[in-house]
Amino acid sequence: MMSLLHASIRLERSSVNGASDSFWLVCPASRRNPEAGVQPAFPPSVVVQVKALACELPYRRGLPLSRFSLSELRRECLTQGLIAQISGVTLWRWLSQDAIHPWRYRSWIFPRDPHFCEKAGAILDLYAGLWEGVPLAAADYILSADEKTSIQVRLRQHSSLPPGPGRPAYVEHEYERGGACAYLAAWDVRRAKVFGRCETRTGIAAFDRLVAQAMTQEPYRSASRVFWIVDNGSSHRGPKAVARLRAQWPNLVLVHTPVHASWLNQIEIYFSIVQRKVLTPNDFTSLAEIEKRLLGFQERYERVATPFEWNFKREDIDRLMSKLRNLAKVA
């Protein structure tokens, strides 16, 4: 991005207030009058128009662009006649003051579950220690579970090299595939304990083995209720999964997240830690090595783990939905 900034700056020599010499020649009325005191080089209305342009999607103006870079935004300001000339530094300063970065974007999923608030609220209540408005008992437990699929063995064409003075570690780009596995895990929300296993494939049988791995141990085996928070994956989706697991474990209560709302499931936080600390870079020689490292990290992590600090509460849902509705109107 700085290269874009420098490229635009080189087009003209900027004055200390951000306007270029050519701007003074074209717009003499904008020059400062020493007797009138210090005045801005650009009227506030121009700044507002430029910022409004930065907030537009380029294709809506007939431009063959996905998003504005700083140089493209500057070019469009000149093309549209919003201003006779402007430096990249000035444009950068205007946008940064309002934290407008049109060259950046992020992916998002708009809630599509018609019962989003109801389902999300139940999970947030569990994190707050409530179920159906009643405080959880000491003999109630909460497990958050999911599957991390397609963890590949990538047989590098050259062995990885450790970091050295003045350089990072080197990991060969080319590789051959050596198989893949799935990592299934359940996170005890209040006790910071992890149950995990590697399977060659996901499915009902694999997920039921994870459930049994936890439910056959104390304190879950004798617990009054064990709430399992899961997404809508095929191995634990819908009423059939609820009935199947309840038949095997009478004290198990299956709680589904809304569709496309895995961010409500705390196991995803643990998976993100696993991705950063264990799976990146992917430099495994066998499925057995993947399993050994995953289960070894799981044991290591439990020694220092504490419950995640979850700050999103039920009362935050209304604010979130209001914000999303406003964004939808903009789209």
Percent of the chain that is helix, strand, coil (3-state, to 5) = 45, 20, 40
Alpha helices in 216-314 (DSSP H): 238-248, 267-277, 287-304
Rounded to whole angstroms, the Cα distance separating 181 from 152 reads: 7
Poorest-pLDDT segment among 30-34, 108-112, 306-310: 30-34
Identify the residue whose tokens are 């220690």.
129
Asked if the structure places residue 191 within a domain, the reply is: yes
CATH number, domain of 258, equals: 3.30.420.10
Distance of CA 248 to the CA centre of its chain: 35
Here the tokens at position 226 are: 């064990």
Domain-embedded: residue 26: yes
Is pLDDT of 158 > 50?
yes
194, exposed or middle or buried, with CB in 10 Å at 0-12, 13-18, 19+? buried
Does 268 share its domain with 172?
yes
pLDDT band at 106 (very low <50, low <70, confident <90, very high): confident
Q: Are residues 175 and 269 in the same domain?
A: yes
Q: What's the structural domain count of the chain?
A: 2
Tell me, yes or no, whether 40 and 172 share the same domain: no
The answer on 153 and 69 residing in a single domain is no
User: Could you tell me how far CA 65 lies from the centroid of its own chain?
Assistant: 25
| Shared-domain flag, residues 237 and 314 | yes
130 with 227: CB under 8 angstroms? no
Residue at 62 is within a domain: yes
Number of H helices, E strands in the chain: 11, 7
Instruction: Tell me the pTM.
Output: 0.77
Burial class (CB in 10 A: 0-12, 13-18, 19+), 107: exposed
Side chain identity at residue 14, one-letter code: S
What is the number of alpha carbons within 13 Å of residue 159 lying toward its C-beta?
A: 2
Residue 104 located in a structural domain: no
Do the domain assignments include residue 134? yes
Q: List 161's β-bridge partners, or say none.
A: 170
Distance CA 266, CA 144 (A): 6
**Interatomic CA distance for residues 295 and 74, integer angstroms:** 53
Q: For residue 36, name the pLDDT band (cuts at 50, 70, 90).
A: very low
Residues of the domain holding 41? 2-97
**DSSP 8-state class, residue 82:** S
**Longest alpha-carbon distance in the chain:** 88
Please write the tens of the pLDDT for every residue from 236-264. Answer: 999 999 999 999 999 999 999 999 899 99
| DSSP-assigned letters across all residues of 198-220 | EESS-SHHHHHHHHHHHHTSTTT
106 within a domain of the structure (yes/no): no
Does one domain contain both 253 and 315? yes
Please indicate, yes or no, whether residues 128 and 208 belong to a single structural domain of this protein: yes
How far apart (Å, rounded) are the C-alpha atoms in residues 325 and 242? Answer: 32
pLDDT band per the 50, 70, 90 thresholds, residue 278: very high
Q: Evaluate whether residue 331 is within a structural domain.
A: no
User: With 60 as the cut, is the pLDDT of residue 266 above it?
Assistant: yes
What is the DSSP secondary structure assignment for residue 137, as one 8-state letter? P
